[in-house]
Structure 1
Amino acid sequence: MGYGIGAAITWAFDTVILSIALSCSAFFETEQAIALASLTSTFLHDGASAVFAFIFMAVRGKLKQTKDLLVSKYGKYIVIAAVIGAPLGMTGYVTSIANIGPAYTAAITAFFPAYGAALAHFVLKEPMRGYNWAGLIVCLVAVAVLGWSPAEGIPGNWIVGIIGCLICVVGWGTEAVIIAWGLKSAQVDDQCAMQIRQTTSAITYALVIMPIVGGWGCSIDAFLSDAMPWIALAALSGTASYLLYYKAIAVIGAAKSMALNITYSAWAIPFSLVFLGTMPDARGIICAIVIIVGAIVAATDVKALFTKGDTSGTELEHLEQPL
C-alpha cells in the first residue's frame, strides 16, 4: 500500500513542479514557443525521465534484463501502452496544466481508472457490476460539473484545459489496462517495464513528434533555459512515481494500486497551495473528492479492495486470454 501512496505523492509533486516550469519565459518568448509549449515540455520531461531511468537501471545492473523484456511479446505490449499513455496521455496532461493549473488538472484526470474499467468491459469483455457503473456515472457528472463553467484565476483557456484532461484520461486509461495485464506475467519486471515506458515516450517524441511539428528549435531553447532545472526536478519525481506505481501493481494488483494512485489529485491541492499559493474553489475540491471516490468504485471490486493481502495473482486474469 505504501508503494501506491508514494506513487500518488510523487506524481502530485511532479504535477505542481511542472506547472512552475511552464510559467518560465522560454515557453512564452515566441508564438511558436507558446503553440508548442505542451509538446516541448512533455518531450523534455519524459526525455529527462528516460535518462534517470537508464541511470537507475544501470546502477541496479538490469539493463540486459530490460533488453530481453523489450524483445519479448510482453515488451511489445508495453511499448504500445507507452505510445498511448505517453505522447497522447502526457501531452494532454501538460496541456491541461498549462491552461487550468495543476490542481484542476489532477482532479479531472483522476477519472482515468473509471474510463479504463469501462474500456476493459467493452473491449476485453470484463464484467462490471451495478455499483461499478454507478461510480462511472458519478465521475462523469462530477467532470461535467467542473467543466461546465470556467473557474477564476486559471492561467489559460478553460475549454482547452478540459479537452486536454479528457485526452489524458483516454491515454492513461488505455495504458493502464495494457500495463496491468503485462505485469501479471512473472517474466515482466516492473522496473524494466518502467524503463521501456519512459524510453519509448522519449524516442517517439524525438524521432516522430518533434520533427513533424518542427519543435526541435523550441526544445533546444527550453533545454538551455531556466525552465530545464524545474523540468528535470519534475521528471525525477515522475520517474520515482512510475517506479512506485508499477511496483504497487506487481505487488497488490491493479485495482488497489489505481485506487491509491489517483489520490494524487488530492495531494496536488496542498502542493499547489505551498508552491503556487493557489488552490481550487469549493466546487473544485468537492468535485475532486467525488471523482476520486467514483473512480475507485468504478474501477475496482470493492470487496477485493478491502481484502487483506496480495491480490496481484487474482486481478485482471481475464485480460490474458483476449490479448
Structure 2
Amino acid sequence: MFVLNPIGGGILKMTETRKRFKKIGITAGIISGLMYGLYTTFVLIAGKYEPLKGAADVLPGLSGALILAYVASGLNDFFAGIWLTIYNIKTGRIKELGRSLKLFPGKISLVGSFVGGPIASGAYLLGLSMAGAYAIPISAMYILFGAFFSRIILKQKIIPRVGVGMMICVVGAIVINWVKPEGSTNFTLGIIFAFIAAVGWALEGVFAAYGSAMLDSDVLINIRQLLSGIVDLFVILPILGGMGLLGSTMLSVPPIGWLLLSGLCAAVSYLCWYKSNSTVGCAVGMSLNITYAFWGVLFCILFIDQPITPTIVVGSIIIILGAILVSLNPMELFTKKED
C-alpha cells in the first residue's frame, strides 16, 4: 500500500516553481540585452538623418554634444513611455501608476529612474557620439558596480560562479576597447561618459530590484521611461538651449521613425530587465543584460558599417561566455538528473 506524502509533494512542487521562476528570469535577462542592442543601433541610425546629422557642425563642442544626446535620449525615453502606457492600458495596469507613486518602494524607484534615465542614459549617448560603438561594452561594466551596490544595499549574496562570470564579462569589455579606433574624436571623453553611465545604471538596477520586488515591475518601468523623457525634454533641454533642435527633429520623419523603433526596443528591454532583476536577483539580471554589449556591436557592424576588429570579435565572444556562466552551472549540462 502506497501512502501519499503531502510534505514531499509540496517540496517537489516548490522546487518546480523555483525552476520555472528562474527560467523566466534568465530568459527575460537575455531578451533585455538583445533589445537594448537594437535600441542602441536605432538611435545611432536616427543620428545619421537631418537635422540631427547636421547639428554636430552647427552646435560644436561639449554643449552641442549634450544637446544632441538629450534630444535623442529624451525622445527615445518619451516614446518608450508611450509604448509602455499603451501596454499597461491593454493589460489593465494603468490605474496602478498613481498608487505606486504614493508608496515608499515607488518613490525609491523614482530615484533610480532619475539616476538611470537623465543621468546614465544621457551619458551613454554622449559616449556613443564621441567613442562610437566602443562605448557600448565600457558601459557594460555596470555589473561590477551593480554587484557591489546590491551586496551593500540589498544584502544579496554573490556565489563564486556568478562572480567569476561577471569578471569574465568585464574582461571581454576591456578587450573590445583595447585598441583606440582611428579617426575617433574625443575618444577618451566618450569612454568617461560611458563609465558614468555604468555607475548610474548600477544604482538604477539596485533601486529597481527593491521596488519591483514589492510593486509591479511593468508599472515601475512605465513611470521610469515617462519621467526620464519628460525631464530630458522639458527640464534639461531648455537649460541647454536645445528646444530649437527638438522642434526641427519632431518635424522630420526619418529620425522620428527610427526613434519610435528605438523607444519600442527600449520599452521591451527595460520590461525584461526589471522582470529579470526581481526574479533571479540584481547581480544575475545585470549580468544577462550585459550581453547588449555583444548585440550592440554586432548590429552596428551589420547596419552602420562599424569596422570589424579582432578586439571586437574576441571581446564579444568572451562576454557571451561570461553571461552563460552567470546564467547556469556548466556541470548541470553533464549531470543526468533522476526523475
**Global fold match (TM > 0.5):** yes
TM-score by length of 2: 0.77
Larger radius of gyration: 2
**Contact 2:74/2:230 (CA < 8 Å) preserved in 1?**
no
Whole-angstrom CA distance in 2 between matches of 1:135 and 1:285: 18
Matched, 1:11 2:36: yes
Q: 1:60 aligns with which of 91, 103, 111?
A: 91
- Residue 26 of structure 1 is matched in structure 2 by 51
| TM-superposed deviation, 1:251 | 3.5
Residue identity opposite 2:33 in structure 1: A
Q: How many residues align?
A: 301
Matched, 1:119 2:154: no
TM-score by length of 1: 0.81
Whole-angstrom CA distance in 2 between matches of 1:168 and 1:52: 24
Q: 1:245 aligns with which of 270, 273, 298?
A: 273
**Contact 2:174/2:315 (CA < 8 Å) preserved in 1?**
no
Whole-angstrom CA distance in 2 between matches of 1:239 and 1:193: 12
- Residue 37 of structure 1 is matched in structure 2 by 68
Matched, 1:174 2:199: no
Pair 269,145 (structure 1): closer, same or farther in 2 beyond 3 Å = closer
**Contact 2:171/2:315 (CA < 8 Å) preserved in 1?**
no
- Residue 106 of structure 1 is matched in structure 2 by 136
| TM-superposed deviation, 1:139 | 6.3
| TM-superposed deviation, 1:296 | 8.2
Whole-angstrom CA distance in 2 between matches of 1:120 and 1:247: 16
Pair 292,213 (structure 1): closer, same or farther in 2 beyond 3 Å = farther
Residue identity opposite 2:119 in structure 1: L
Pair 303,180 (structure 1): closer, same or farther in 2 beyond 3 Å = farther
Whole-angstrom CA distance in 1 between matches of 2:193 and 2:316: 17
5+ residue gaps in structure 2? 1-25, 334-339
Residue identity opposite 2:233 in structure 1: A
Whole-angstrom CA distance in 1 between matches of 2:283 and 2:265: 23
Pairwise CA RMSD: 3.0
Pair 306,261 (structure 1): closer, same or farther in 2 beyond 3 Å = farther
**Contact 1:114/1:295 (CA < 8 Å) preserved in 2?**
no
- Residue 286 of structure 1 is matched in structure 2 by 314
Which secondary structure state, in structure 2, belongs to the residue aligned with residue 96 of structure 1?
helix
Deviations 1:10-59 (A, max 9, x none): 11111111111122231223226555111111111111111111122122
Residue identity opposite 1:83 in structure 2: F
Whole-angstrom CA distance in 1 between matches of 2:161 and 2:288: 19
Whole-angstrom CA distance in 2 between matches of 1:3 and 1:137: 21
Deviations 1:62-95 (A, max 9, x none): 1111211111111101100000001111011111
Pair 151,230 (structure 1): closer, same or farther in 2 beyond 3 Å = same
Pair 34,120 (structure 1): closer, same or farther in 2 beyond 3 Å = closer
Pair 121,243 (structure 1): closer, same or farther in 2 beyond 3 Å = closer
Matched, 1:211 2:238: yes
**Contact 1:111/1:169 (CA < 8 Å) preserved in 2?**
yes
Deviations 1:184-229 (A, max 9, x none): 22xx001101101111112222342122212222111122223111
Whole-angstrom CA distance in 1 between matches of 2:106 and 2:66: 34
**Contact 2:33/2:291 (CA < 8 Å) preserved in 1?**
yes
| TM-superposed deviation, 1:177 | 1.0
Residue identity opposite 1:8 in structure 2: G
Whole-angstrom CA distance in 2 between matches of 1:3 and 1:127: 21
Deviations 1:242-263 (A, max 9, x none): 1222223333333332232111
Whole-angstrom CA distance in 2 between matches of 1:216 and 1:109: 28
Whole-angstrom CA distance in 1 between matches of 2:320 and 2:65: 32
Q: 2:301 aligns with which of 242, 251, 273?
A: 273
**Contact 1:111/1:295 (CA < 8 Å) preserved in 2?**
no
- Residue 315 of structure 1 is matched in structure 2 by none
- Residue 2 of structure 1 is matched in structure 2 by 27
Amino-acid identity (%):
28
Which secondary structure state, in structure 2, belongs to the residue aligned with residue 101 of structure 1?
helix
Q: Which stretch shows the higher mean deviation, 72-81 or 270-279?
A: 270-279
In the TM superposition, 1:183-198 aligns within 5 A as 183-185=212-214, 188-198=215-225
- Residue 50 of structure 1 is matched in structure 2 by 81
Residue identity opposite 2:137 in structure 1: A
Residue identity opposite 2:37 in structure 1: A
Pair 70,7 (structure 1): closer, same or farther in 2 beyond 3 Å = same
